[in-house]
Structure 1
């Protein structure tokens, strides 16, 4: 039976503390984290806490834009700049890469129900035989008009647990709640359905 835990109104420090508990308990392994504006202040708070030995961790982005790592739109570049100095091993999403089993999959979600770069128009499959997909969002987001490479639903769900940070947006909460009820078939709903079938716990910071 899947467990979904909703945590209302947590600030960045509280989310960082939650992550620290999970990572410290696991000790080492691999995690996958989102891009965008939400995760980096949380990661900074997690680093500041000093509770994690990052040398035991491999960090994968959920997805990335097809740009050089030194481009401002590169998720991998931002993750590397923040966590490599702490000793973490940063994995770039390159075609042919093979993601591991994750101790934790950390995701954001768009108001359209997309996760990673699995937008509704890409029709992501829960039985996708590939762990990575290169694709073009439609429409291209104006702030990041680039092709993407992304972990697929099976790769994201190959995890001990899943956490979402929704950033306090009411419209995202409504979409997530509907997905959790099975009231839509958006990418997030497909992932949650797979998590339910496999008994993967899900925590949601609203």
Structure 2
């Protein structure tokens, strides 16, 4: 089942998503002693990190990673991680898993991180959850993380993108299989340019966009503005 929450502006949207994320993370900590969170870049993705920061979450009990990363040097301003740390600097002092940076071919970097995640979580084909919450934005073309329409990838934890429609061209991303191993997935989307793709993904039927191929094992929830919710 897909839930849809609509808001009049982006500030309300991310604030509510942050509150709901806090509940999921604290419940995971209460049940299992820790929580695993996958964060995202983009305007709404970075804004929700600022909102989460204000909530005073117990970061020592939360393992965090970005869902995808631009394949550039570690200190490059284009990295999602770089922007995330600007919004929530304290993440650098806790359990932040980093994607590899340049210095080797992007395929080799993807393989190395896939092996790292497989050693921790087992084979990608397992139906068991490994994340508690995945936060995702969505592009006007329906892409999520760095998984773009009409692109296929090998079955692995992490995949390489060689020709992103938006620069930088090389990227690393959690795969569909990895993103679908989360108990909950929150999508954050706003703006008329994303309406068609979002409505397609929410309906799911006959929709082959990347956003339609990801969902939580227990909960899939969209946080959208009135531009997107109109006509749902």
Query: For the superposition of Structure 1 and Structure 2, which TM-score range results when normalised by the shorter chain?
Result: 0.7 to 0.9
Structure that is richer in helix per residue: 2
2-structure distance, mates of 1:130, 1:44: 31
Per-residue deviation at 1:18?
A: 1.6
Unaligned runs of 5+ in 1: none
Unaligned runs of 5+ in 2: 101-108, 122-129, 225-232
SS in 2 for 1:130: coil
2-structure distance, mates of 1:176, 1:13: 20
| Maintained 8 Å contact 2:13/2:223 | no
Residue-by-residue CA offset, 1:115-150 (whole Å, 9 max, x unaligned): 1000113235xxx521111112353x1xx3330000
Find the counterpart in structure 2 of residue 6 from structure 1: 4
| Maintained 8 Å contact 1:119/1:137 | no
| Alignment of structure 1 residues 110-125 onto 2, 5 Å | 110-124=139-153
Find the counterpart in structure 2 of residue 32 from structure 1: 38
Per-residue deviation at 1:83?
A: 4.3
Please tell me whether residue 174 in structure 1 is matched to residue 196 in structure 2.
yes
Between structure 1 and structure 2, the one with the greater Rg is 2
**What is the aligned residue count?**
191
Please tell me whether residue 187 in structure 1 is matched to residue 180 in structure 2.
no
Per-residue deviation at 1:81?
A: 4.8
Return the TM-score normalized by structure 2.
Answer: 0.74
Return the TM-score normalized by structure 1.
Answer: 0.83
| Maintained 8 Å contact 1:8/1:205 | yes
